[in-house]
Chain A
Amino acid sequence: MLKYIIRRLLVMVPVVLGVTVVISTLIYLSPGNPAQIALGQNANPEAVARLEQQMGLNKPPHLRYVDWLTQALQGNLGRSLETGTPVTDLIVERLPATLELAFASLAIMLVIALPLGVVSAVRQYSWVDNASMLFAIFWLSMPSFWLALILLLLFAVHWDFFPISGRAGALLSVTALSYLVLPAIANGARRAGLLTRMMRSSMLEILNKDYIRTAKGKGIGQRSVIYSHGMRNAMIPIVTLLGLQVPSLISSSVIVEVVFAWPGMGRLLVDAVLRRDYPVVQGVTLMYAVIVIVANLLVDIAYSYLDPQISYD
């Protein structure tokens, strides 16, 4: 297993390199000029050219990339063009907020979807099943940016249940949690709907298996049949789905972070893109790529625990 993890981490290297090439190219191709933006539309062209030189933007793109990469390999992702703050500092500052939101969304997904999916499958076509399928399709039909705005309007502006935006420090206090609730729902609800449906169909399939009949025939009781024999098998496709959902969870968190002014990497990224703050864009995207790759690695490791037929050695 350790060997496998090391091998997978090594494979990460070319993938991450590829991501950096793609990002640099996209940045080069994107219109706009940070020096121009910094100095304003009516700035003196000479001043703009001077600033460009200071920023190192006058070099050809491949040389710029090589420069950036040499620095990046030494752990230096450059400085923000706008504020001069080291990009690594910006990321370290924002990463906890992003991870916090991601895990909270994930928790909402799992806490809602798994029990609901299982109950729907066990009591197929009952009112619980119908209600939870209605619930699933309801959330599934809502794009997260819209849901975020509606939640904000209803629960923060209109009813004042939760703070409107921002983040109150680290977790584990009621205040901090109250800031987290709405963004986490906005980000997780839609996926909870998807996951509920998946869990239901996966569980339904498993409940018809011969080994479930065997388990029932042992007289071990319904609870053991469903949880020990059913759930574990039904979780295998669910974990696959979770792996696939991580990138989309990340990308939708960018939008949700902007709506709720959540001080995570997503908002940092959007701001940086708008200001053509290239080093920040590059650094944050790189971080996202690493998160996605690591999440997929975790999913693959989870497989081998769930399904003994999968062995990586």
Chain B
Amino acid sequence: MTDPLLAIDDLHVHFHTEEGTVEALDGVDLEVYGDEVVGVIGESGCGKTVTMLSVMGLLQSPPAEVVGGSIRYDGRDLLTCSESELNEIRGEEISMIYQDPMTSLNPVLTVGRQVSEVLLAHRDISKRDARERSVEMLDACGLADPERLMDEYPHSLSGGMRQRVMIAMALVTEPNLLIADEPTTALDVTIQAQVMEVLRELRSDHEVSIVFITHDLPLVSEIADRIAVMYAGTVAETCSVERLFDRPLHPYTRKLTESIPKLDQPATRLPSIDGTVPSLVDPPDGCRFASRCPQFIGEECRSVTPALTDVSGTGRHEVACHLYTDVSEASPPWPVDDEDRTAQQPTAETDDGGRR
């Protein structure tokens, strides 16, 4: 297997607040390979955005502090990079689309200025060429009359248009890695569909890896090759989209997939998970899902933090749960697919590597 483009290893991030130290990330592991779309899902506050802002070096510090782990991008450790080294990577090789397009564009600068400045900062290029390139990019993002749009200010654009501008801004330098942080959350459903279409098209035109952060499982399954499920600052499970729906292994993921409303079944009350997410100020030891887990085994869940373990034997399905570790004697209540692995594997491989 080739080296991952982005490898986040055992990342710990703390926020120092007046209420105490919030242990926002507690050993996050995540890998993104070239030309792969990874969906990161999880509820609000589980650390999706914090993880990605750490990658970009955009955590506000103070209060945030990276206390451990590494983020390797293309062989470099981003956490030890200086600000100027980071500036060579940000915008040029990794770019990010932010949650709220209404507040993420500068209100006093024209769209053209904001899109083309990325090019001007990273390329040895004339203003005129940068403008031309920006117009092309806006056009590729499905914005009508891009030439006129270049001289508009963000306030005269709708939410959907602004998000497309954000996408154009992120992709104008043709980065290797695009981080899309809930790019459609602030938009209504039709605009959401359009933005997803833009992302899909861009992906087929440019070779780009995407990390797609969302809490909308059905939405991300449209575009992602692989999914990472996060819970309370940890990665609970990573696997292909198919396996996530067919064979979720972590109790949290199972509950999550069960709670998706299904159109072909009579409407009933959706199942929910008892309890609440533990406070991340002084969080409990062991598995952070332990207090709510329907498959709770015993003391080991409360005392030993489960490591992300490969269960498929190919490194493509990892779960952080004692049902699958050596710490506990307990055996999983669901088949891990030992017997049909040979049958599953080829499809899983093509799905992981291929375009959707």
Residue from A209, A220, A309 in contact with B117 in the complex, judged by beta carbons closer than 8 Å: A220
Q: What residues on A are CB-neighbors of B84 within 8 Å?
A: 221
B169 part of interface (Cβ distance < 8 Å): yes
Contact check: which of A219, A220, A222, A233 meets B107 at CB < 8 Å? A233
Partner of B121, one of A210, A218, A307: A218
Q: Does A308 contact B (CB under 8 A)?
A: yes
Asked whether, in the complex, the Cβ of B91 is within 8 Å of the Cβ of A217, the reply is yes
Task: State whether A210 and B103 are in contact (beta carbons under 8 Å apart), knowing that A220-B117, A233-B108 are contacts in the complex.
Answer: yes
A307 contacts B107, C-beta separation under 8 Å: yes
Q: Which residues of A contact B90 (CB under 8 A)?
A: 216-219
B87 and A219 contact, CB distance less than 8 A: yes
Q: Which residues of B contact A307 (CB under 8 A)?
A: 107-108
Q: A224 and B117: CB pair below 8 A?
A: yes
Are the C-beta atoms of A218 and B91 separated by less than 8 Å? yes
Q: How far is the CA of A47 from the CA of B210 in the complex (A)?
A: 97
The interface bits of chain A over 222-262 (1 if a CB of B lies within 8 angstroms of the residue's CB, else 0) are 10100011001100000000000000000000000000000
Check if A151 is an interface residue, CB within 8 A of chain B: no
Contact indicator per residue, chain A 198-223, by CB within 8 Å of chain B (1) or not (0): 00000000001111011111111110
Question: CB within 8 A of B56: which of A208, A217, A228, A229?
Answer: A217
B103-135 contacts to A, CB under 8 A, are 103-110, 117-118, 121-122
Q: With a CB–CB cut-off of 8 A, which chain A residues contact B60?
A: 208
Q: Does B273 contact A (CB under 8 A)?
A: no
A15 interfacial contact with B, CB 8 Å: no
User: What separation, in Å, do the CA atoms of A220 and B95 have in the docked complex?
Assistant: 12
Interface residues of A in 286-311 (CB under 8 A from B): 306-309
Query: Quick one: given A218-B169, A221-B121, A224-B121, are A213 and B108 in contact (CB under 8 Å)?
Result: no
| Tally of chain A residues near chain B (CB < 8 A) | 23
Min CB gap B119→A, angstroms: 10
Could you tell me if B153 and A217 are in contact, using CB atoms closer than 8 angstroms? no
- With an 8 A cutoff between CB atoms, is B58 at the interface? yes
Q: What is the 8 Å Cβ interface bit string for chain A, positions 153-190, against chain B (1 contact, 0 not)?
A: 00000000000000000000000000000000000000
List B contacts of A233 (CB < 8 A). 106-108
Complex-state Cα separation, A64 to B108, whole angstroms: 52
Within 8 A of A (CB), among B312-350: none
The docked-state distance in angstroms from the alpha carbon of A214 to that of B168 is: 13
On whether A229 and B109 interact (CB within 8 A), knowing A217-B96, A308-B153, A308-B155, the answer reads yes
Judged by a CB distance under 8 angstroms, whether B26 is at the interface is no
B156 to A: closest C-beta gap in Å:
9
If the complex has contacts A217-B95, A218-B117, A228-B109, are A211 and B103 also in contact, measured as CB distance less than 8 A? yes
| B100 interface contact, C-beta 8 A | yes
Q: Which residues of B contact A306 (CB under 8 A)?
A: 108
Contacts of A308 in B (CB 8 A): 107-108, 110, 153, 155
Which residues of B in the span 80-107 have a Cβ within 8 Å of any Cβ on A? Answer: 83-84, 86-92, 95-96, 98, 100, 103-107
Taking a contact as CB atoms closer than 8 A, the residue among A208, A214, A228 that contacts B98 in the complex is A214
| A221 pairs with B87, CB closer than 8 A | yes
Closest CB in chain A relative to B87 CB, distance in Å = 4
Contacts of A216 in B (CB 8 A): 58, 90
B107 / chain A contacts, CB cutoff of 8 Å? 211, 233, 307-309
Tell me the bound Cα distance from A208 to B98 in angstroms: 15
Residue of chain B at shortest CB distance from A230: B106
- Among B60, B91, B95, max chain A CB count under 10 A is at B91
Cα distance A209–B117 in the bound complex, in angstroms: 19
Q: Are A309 and B155 in contact (CB under 8 A)?
A: yes
In the bound complex, residues from chain A placing their C-beta under 8 Å from that of B96 are 217
User: A residues within 8 A CB of B56?
Assistant: 217
B166 closest partner in A (C-beta): A214
What's the Cα separation between A220 and B91 when bound, in Å?
8
Among B83, B86, B98, B122, contact of A210 (Cβ-Cβ < 8 Å): B98
Nearest opposing residue in chain B for A207, CB measure: B60
Contact between B92 and A219, CB atoms less than 8 A apart:
yes
Q: Which residue of B has the minimal Cβ distance to A208?
A: B60
- The closest CB in chain B to the CB of A233 belongs to B108
Residues of B within 8 A of A209 (CB): 103
Inside 8 A of B110's CB, which chain A residues have their CB?
A: 308
B186–chain A nearest beta-carbon distance, Å: 11
A219 with B86: CB separation less than 8 A: yes
Q: Mark B125-156, 1 if CB is under 8 A from A, else 0.
A: 00000000000000000000000000001010
- Contact at A210–B104, with CB atoms within 8 Å? yes
Give the Cβ gap from A239 to chain B, nearest Cβ, in Å: 12
Look across to chain B and name the residue whose beta carbon is closest to the beta carbon of A125. Answer: B62
Asked whether B91 lies within 8 Å of A213 as measured between CB atoms, the reply is: no
Kindly identify, within residues 277 to 292 of chain B, every residue whose CB is under 8 Å from any CB belonging to chain A. Answer: none
CA–CA, A210 and B103, complex, Å: 6
State the Cβ distance, A272 to closest chain B Cβ, in Å.
Answer: 45
Find chain A residues with CB under 8 A from B104 CB.
210-211, 213-214
Chain A nearest CB from B42 CB (Å) reads 21
- Chain A residues with CB under 8 A of B153: 308-309
- CB contacts (< 8 Å) of A221 on chain B: these are 84, 87, 121
Are B87 and A232 in contact, CB atoms less than 8 angstroms apart?
A: no
Given A308-B153, A308-B155 in contact, is the A219-B109 Cβ separation under 8 Å?
Answer: no
A221 to B: closest C-beta gap in Å: 6
By beta carbon, the residue of chain A nearest B88 is A219
- Give Cα A216 to B58, complex, Å: 7
Q: A233-B107, A306-B108, A307-B107 are in contact. Are A218 and B95 (CB under 8 A)?
A: yes
Chain B minimum-CB-distance residue to A236: B108
Residue of B nearest to A209 (CB): B103
Can you show 19 pairs from A to B with CB atoms below 8 A apart?
A210-B98, A211-B105, A211-B107, A214-B104, A214-B166, A217-B56, A218-B90, A218-B91, A218-B117, A218-B169, A219-B87, A219-B88, A219-B121, A219-B122, A220-B117, A221-B84, A221-B87, A233-B108, A307-B108
What 5 pairs across the A-B complex have the smallest Cβ distances? A219-B90, A219-B91, A218-B91, A219-B87, A308-B153
Besides A208-B60, A216-B58, A218-B117, 7 other CB < 8 A contacts?
A210-B98, A220-B87, A220-B118, A221-B121, A222-B83, A232-B108, A233-B108
